[in-house]
A and B are shown apart, each in its own frame.
Chain A
């Protein structure tokens, strides 16, 4: 590629062209020598035009000039009487010689011009191909980093400096206060040394003087990238040989690059604002779920208390007792929910550490059953586990809460008297130190497309009823133990929620 950027022909080609012309001349002269007395004055001149033109085609105008001189000498010495001497007898011969030289020189000039015009056209063709490729690449949906690398690499390939660097403002690590600092975001060619970097950017991120084509060696060219009347960056070419036409090409490149960089920056901004929007939406949904779950028990408490306070409304002692019990249970539920929410946020922010201890599964299940005894009649729940089940190494407060949440959901979503089954067993692979615990009910179950979603903070199952925060909290607690929780896709009726927790090292 580099050779094609040079103007005209190279010295090697000129020498080759000279050789072609001279060898051709000598060969033809030798061939015609035996019959020179039979030839007209003009014939050798015509023949001698051929090798010289060949030389011009190969090596440009210089071989043509040499060939013209050599042809002149050969013609004069060997084919114009008196042979072997430069003197010429007749004026007719003078004319032949002069015409020969004139023709050769004119033809050489014309051919050379044609050739350099073709080379120029080729070069322009290449430039526009390069530009096209660059703009194609810049339009493509590549990442910002890819884009910047591509700009640097293309410039490097076209202009062949020692290195190319792209300097852009980036957000400083110290935040917005000091404004954006400059940084080398992409480079191509030879690796930049620390001095090179320092010469582009000093410690504070301000550009140094860049030696704009000031003739000092090594020559360095810097082009500002300007889009929408706003500088977006700087393209620096170090140690570059520049032809005049290259300047405008580099300018065009810089414009393309500036637009692409600006576009990438706008895209970045758009992405960031979309992310913020997403976070806002998520936060709103989470607040909705939290407030729904907190308000539900609150609504019962308020309704019950206000009924009790109405003068003479509730006269039956049984009704009074029932309302009071309801108030107590719902207050407990509210308190539990608040604790859970706090625990969950503290686990997620890393403020709460687990307190794992060895506990038997039956003990854990008993704790959960006690907690839900007011909401779910104990005879609805069955507990099954193999006798040799290992102890669990868990924070029993959190994991019993997981069970409570699953039981609450099961009770809420299944028919009033249908059984709820709790079961535990070691996972199939004995190498994995986990125990699998499941809660199954005979409710409507959970559709395939909802099986992931129900664990999200703000999920709502497809029917429109809120699954609430229970599963989201359960997921956070199980995952804090290094376990996983999922909906068993197996059963065709009811829902079966399964989670794993670590087992203790020692046997019960």
Chain B
């Protein structure tokens, strides 16, 4: 059973999500305000948070930041069409994925599955601390700077390896161009999204399009490394 915290101030959308998610077998917790949402994360320890950006009391971005101060729970942002800038800010601020209103339940559920699965994997192996990261059939050996896909070694340049290991560490999360540049290229970078495009293209070629992991482009936002569902 997955416990989902739904944060939105529109009672009818909350009701539709509650019924839809409960029928799927989730345990649904509701918050109508940002302050309540932060409390509920601390109190009910949800497996996932669905967070609307436009709340009556606190800005959704602020709510996301405050949740990140004490919890690694995956946060999926509900954003309105045309809210691109705020969406990117939320992802930079620690949100994992976003979905644009209006959306269908099937799409929402797919996003939730990805977020939950990757969060579980991330929490399980403890990331780079253990020396290696496994995402589907992709294995990254941080100590020896080696990556294997289905047991076959990938031939990567230094930067390609850095990018792949960063995306693997944040598998399932939508990483914005800005985040990637700052964390992989260095603090002096941030606007040169064409660099990321070039390397993402090379990585994708080397990863191939077999079963396993996929490097997804999120148009205008960034990249997301996801495990293909079996």
Question: Which bucket holds chain B's interface residue count?
Answer: 20 to 34
- Which of A291, A306, A322, A461 is in CB contact (< 8 Å) with B15? A322
A296 touches B10 (CB 8 A): yes
Q: What is the bound-complex CA distance between A288 and B83, given in angstroms?
A: 10
Complex Cα distance A322/B15, Å?
A: 9
Taking CB atoms, residues of chain B closer than 8 Å to A326 are: 12, 15-16
- Cβ-defined contact, A303 with B104, below 8 A: yes
- Contact in complex: A412, B106 (CB < 8 Å): no
Interface of chain B residues 75 through 123 with chain A (CB within 8 A): 80-82, 101-106, 108
Residue of A nearest to B101 (CB): A299
Measured CB to CB, the nearest residue on chain B to A466 is B54
Min CB distance, A421 to chain B, in Å?
21
Cα(A303)–Cα(B28), bound, Å: 15
Q: Is A117 an interface residue (CB 8 A)?
A: no
Q: How far, in angstroms, from A403 to B116 measured CA to CA in the complex?
A: 44
Asked whether any CB of chain A lies closer than 8 Å to the CB of B42, the reply is no
B residues contacting A by CB (< 8 A) are 9-13, 15-17, 19-20, 22-24, 54-60, 80-82, 101-106, 108
A465 touches B102 (CB 8 A): no
Residue in chain B with minimal CB distance to A411: B11
- Between A and B, how many residue pairs show CB distances below 8 Å? 101
Residue pair B19, A314 in contact (C-beta under 8 Å):
yes
Closest 9 CB pairs of A and B: A465-B56, A306-B104, A307-B20, A302-B102, A300-B12, A299-B101, A304-B16, A303-B16, A299-B102
Considering the chains assembled together, what is the distance between the CA atoms of A463 and B53 in angstroms? 12
Chain B contacts of A288 at CB under 8 A?
82
Interface residues of A in 284-330 (CB under 8 A from B): 288, 291-292, 295-304, 306-307, 310, 313-316, 319, 322-323, 326, 329-330
CA distance A58 to B9 in the complex (A): 95
A131 to B229, CA, bound (A): 85
Assuming the contacts A303-B102, A326-B12, A413-B56, asked whether A315 and B17 have C-beta atoms less than 8 A apart, the reply is no
Q: Tell me which residues across on chain B come within 8 A of A204, comparing CB atoms.
A: none
Residue among A295, A303, A306, A463 making CB contact with B81, cutoff 8 Å: A295
Chain B min CB distance to A299 (Å): 4
A-B contact pairs, 5 of them (CB 8 A): A292-B80, A306-B104, A307-B20, A330-B12, A444-B56
In the docked arrangement, what's the CA distance between A301 and B101, Å?
A: 11
Asked if A306 meets B12 with Cβ closer than 8 Å, knowing A314-B19, A322-B19, A465-B57, the reply is no
Identify the closest chain A residue to B10 (Cβ). A296
Note all chain B residues with C-beta closer than 8 A to A313.
20, 23-24, 105
Distance from A319 Cβ to chain B, minimum over Cβ atoms (Å): 5
A380 CB to closest chain B CB, in angstroms?
Answer: 13
In the assembled complex, the Cα of A172 lies from the Cα of B22 at a distance in Å of: 69
Whole-angstrom CA separation of A319 from B20 in the bound complex:
9
Q: Do A307 and B57 form a contact, CB below 8 Å, given A295-B81, A313-B20, A326-B16?
A: no
Q: A2 an interface residue at 8 Å Cβ cutoff? A: no
Query: Separation in Å of the A116 CB from the closest CB of chain B?
Result: 74
A197 CA to B79 CA in the complex, in Å?
Answer: 64
| A465 adjacent to B20 (CB under 8 Å) | no
